[in-house]
Structure 1
Amino acid sequence: MDRRRRLLCAAACVAALLLDDTPEKRKSKRRRVWKKNWSTCSGLPTELTADDSRNDFLKYVKMTPEEFDILLRRVGPLLTRQDTKLRKAIPAKDRLSLTLRFLATGESFKSLSCMYRIGGSTVSKIILETSTVIHQLLQEDFLQMPKSEAEWRTVAEGFLQKWQFPHCVGALDAKRISIQDSGQSGSTFRNNKECSVLLAAAVDADSKFLYVSVGAQGEYSDSFLFEDSDFRRDLDQGLFHLPPAEPLPNSNLTFPYVFVGDGVYPLRSDLMTPFSGEDVDPGQRFFNHQLSRARQPADNAFSILAHRWRIFHTSIHLRPDKVAKVTLAIVCLHNFLCGRRSKAYLPVGPSDGEDRALVEGTWRSEGLGVMRPVQREQETSCSPEGEELQNIMKDYLSRPTHKVREDGSI
């Protein structure tokens, strides 16, 4: 009998321990919240699509509801997640609008977490996944180098008609994007005690990106970036399939198709840069002026990025590899909206115009946010062929019959 009583007491003690439900126990077992139920928050994407909130929609996602729907149809299938027994998946529409709002406003993850009632870590995951999907699905149609000689000639015709520079197939430029040092970037992304990544690009006459490279080490200059880039290697190996040298307009002078860049790039037979130094003759000065006009699309492209995507107005608090994903998505969105000639995305004023005389855009007084030009730290190289072609183009542009006419043509 005593033995039975002892066994019953032991069993009761074990049951009491198993059923212990103290506050400390309950706290340790608390489940993580998938979506917060904050009834005081507002600004959900469903509210932004209402007709009376159209201006707010343009402000926060930089496109019209119609353009948003077109984009959603493209990327939605890869953003859709399956519901589970425990929770409903966040809709693709919310994932896309959340990402666009982050890119367009530069709001913090904490602010977006409150607005969309989603956990902070989930916000970060959604933004990176959606940015990757946008780049993956849009790059084939909106971020491709021309693949044939005919397509390159079309690009060159755009530069001739809009910027009065013949045989130009792209404007090269690069900017530093400031990022906040998370302590994991190392010294390779530092420059003058600042942490940054480089965005290098080739742009067509309509300020659409033909080629981009993001994430190169911030300690290097533009010229080093070009010399060590895949772009230069492909150019040297003839993988771009540029047209062969052809006569310049209204002339018997044979001239190759070239890219244009500023003084930090090397002068080559396929890359025209300005005459350097202060002691330049009138012909060289006019050549530099025309070359500067041909480079305006690159300035415009970077200025539009900085003014339409406000994430570039503050140092980005992401690791360099994540900054690259976000930037590539923005470049694809830029080309997508430029291709549609979106009035919501491309209002009159921010970029430089191509009238008879250069019309400076408002970006010149407002700046480029955290995008900074790369300064030339040493003299760049000049090939003999490049110098010869530079002088040929100088003489061609200086002829009275080839100067810019009143209608903007040559």
Structure 2
Amino acid sequence: MDTRRRKLLRLVACAAALLLENTSGKRKRHRRVWRKNRPLDLTAFDSRNNFLRFVKMTSEDFDLLLERLGPRLARQDTQFRKAIPPRDRLSLTLRFLATGKRTRRRERMPQEAGNVTAGFLGCSCFLTGESLQSLSCAYRLGNSTTSNIVKETCTAIHQLLGGEFLQRPDSAAAWRRVADGFLQKCGFPHCVGAVDAKRISLHPQGSDDKRSVLLTAAVDAHCRFLSVSVTPQTGDSDAFAFEESDLGRALDRGSLRLPAPEPLPASDRASPYVFVGDGAFPLRSDLMVPFPGEDAGGRRAAFNRRLSGARRAAENALGILTSRWRVFHTSIPLQAEKVERVVLATACLHNFLCGRRSEAYLPDGETDSWRSDGLGIMKSVRREPAGGGGGEGEDVRNAMTDYCQPPSGLT
């Protein structure tokens, strides 16, 4: 009996000592990170080709971009968790933008990537295209955290790069430089931009409704975006009213500061500076579209060929955009507001990398071979039916038709 009592007293004493120790001093807390395990940093890959495949830029371009965006992406550590570094925030977002297309085959990962590669191989979604859920798996993050990182980083890219790399010309001299590029490259006079409009499908998470947004873009002769606007599209109609777009309103208000009409090259006939588009756009005095129908070998055909060469810049720019940022190859699982941020961010990155002449983005400066890859979920639009005729637009097009005729004796 005494032995059992002594054992019981000994256990009570030990329990009391442990309780006293826990209550008398502060327990040491270990700060958690926002990940479940050690981060998997894309930039840790040793393979240069692997790096290029997942972020569509060289490590030098990535570091320069990170230098610009780092302060905006940085977050403060808290007493509970360490903040996710700007490098991981940027690489995660670029992977979402660059690898949205689900591949048809399983790609082999390089052996030199070591344990990091093995970690990614454990997540099959890494090899078949990136969604927000697969990125959450790869980066050991929560779904809402991943979504917020993509949204915040796309916003930062547009806000910090847009003023330098996605800014419309703001003077007549700047617009003339754009026109000189089209004249030298395409032979089309007084062209201050090629315009195009596309409908982008989106499928927000948690919603069975398939919606879309309307992308309207103006491009210079070197396939760089001059202006990009994204507006939600109501209903199922794919009709496009140029007058309701940002560019159309700016032209109507006269706020673009286009040069005043000047004589065409080697001519004494004054003609306004114009944008060029396809049949989805209306004919205006500041917007040229091709003659309808076929007139092979005629005067109209010569004009259409010359205009098509200038308009191809917009087709090429959108082809490059969808080929490199493959988030546009499947319905985007985001709300219209977030899709707008994605589009504007990719347009800024496009101009940034074109300006850098990045070998990863545009090998050897090629711009005409990207249209064969298609435009993914970007669909063509049709013109909104409208009354009225060309008027001044017909006069301008006829004058430019005269200019575009080949010399006598040539066909």
Corresponding residue number in structure 2 for 1:215: 231
The worse-fitting range, judged by mean Cα deviation, of 310-319 and 106-115 is 106-115
1-structure distance, mates of 2:49, 2:68: 24
Gaps of 5+ in 2: 1-31, 101-129
Work out the CA distance in 1 between the residues paired with 2:409 and 2:51. 47
Structure 1 residue runs without a partner (length 5+): 1-31, 187-193, 353-360, 405-410
Secondary structure of the corresponding residue to residue 47 of structure 2: helix
When normalised by structure 1's length, the TM-score is: 0.80
Q: Distance in 2 between matches of 1:243 and 1:170?
A: 13
Matched residue, 1:26: none
Q: How does 1:251-270 map to 2 (within 5 A)?
A: 251-270=267-286
CA contact (8 A) 1:83 1:89 kept: yes
Deviation at 1:303, TM superposition (A): 0.3
Where does 1:7-406 land on structure 2 (aligned, <5 Å)? 34-37=34-37, 43-48=40-45, 52-106=46-100, 107-182=130-205, 194-217=210-233, 219=235, 221=238, 223-224=240-241, 226-278=242-294, 282-348=298-364, 351-352=367-368, 361-364=369-372, 366-376=373-383, 378=385, 382-400=389-407
Check whether the contact 1:179–1:318 (CA below 8 A) recurs between aligned residues: yes
Classify the secondary structure of the residue corresponding to 2:232. Answer: strand
Q: Deviations over 1:275-331 (max 9, x none)?
A: 113457700011111111110110011101110001111111111111111111111
- Whether contact under 8 Å (2:193, 2:276) holds in the other structure is yes
Distance 1:86 1:370, change over 3 A: same
Structure 1 distance, partners of 2:277, 2:244, is 16
Alpha-carbon distance in 1 for matches of 2:283, 2:90: 43
Distance 1:222 1:144, change over 3 A: farther
Q: Aligned partners of 2:49 and 2:40: how far apart in 1?
A: 13
SS of the aligned residue for 1:295 comes to helix
RMSD of aligned alpha carbons: 2.5
* Superposed displacement of residue 78, structure 1: 0.8
Q: Which moved more, 1:130-139 or 1:368-377?
A: 368-377
SS state of the match for residue 160, structure 1?
A: helix
SS of structure 1 residue aligned to 2:283: coil
User: How far apart, CA to CA, are the structure 2 residues paired with 1:402 and 1:233?
Assistant: 43
Q: What's the TM-score once normalised by structure 2's chain length?
A: 0.80
1-structure distance, mates of 2:59, 2:33: 31
| Partner SS for 1:398 | coil
Check whether the contact 2:214–2:232 (CA below 8 A) recurs between aligned residues. Answer: yes
Distance across 2 between alignment mates of 1:250 and 1:134: 44
Paired residue type of 2:60: E
User: Which one-letter code corresponds to 2:337 in the other structure?
Assistant: D
Residue 81 of structure 2 aligns to a residue whose secondary structure is coil
State how far apart, in whole Å, the 1-side matches of 2:387 and 2:404 are: 24
> How far apart, CA to CA, are the structure 2 residues paired with 1:381 and 1:342?
46
User: Distance between the aligned counterparts of 1:44 and 1:75, measured in 2?
Assistant: 17
Look up the equivalent residue of 2:380 and give its one-letter code: P
Distance, in Å, in 2 between the alignment partners of 1:349 and 1:274 is 28
Aligned residue pair count: 352
CA 1:323 to 1:242, structure 2 compared with 1: closer, same or farther past 3 Å?
A: same
Instruction: Evaluate the alpha carbon distance shift between residue 402 and residue 214 of structure 1 in structure 2; reply closer, same or farther with a 3 A threshold.
Output: farther
Deviations 1:36-58 (A, max 9, x none): 127xxx8522413xxx3111111
DSSP 3-state at the match of 2:363:
coil
**Relative to 1, partners in 2 of residues 1:247 and 1:60: Cα closer, same or farther, differing over 3 Å?**
same
- 1:5-30 Cα offsets, whole Å, 9 max, x none, are xxxxxxxxxxxxxxxxxxxxxxxxxx
Q: Say which SS state the counterpart of residue 223 (structure 2) adopts.
A: coil
SS of the residue aligned with 1:169? strand
Compare 214-223 and 332-341 and name the one that shifted more: 214-223
Q: How far 1:378 moved relative to its partner?
A: 3.8
- SS at the partner of 2:82? coil
Letter of the 2:264 partner, please give it: L
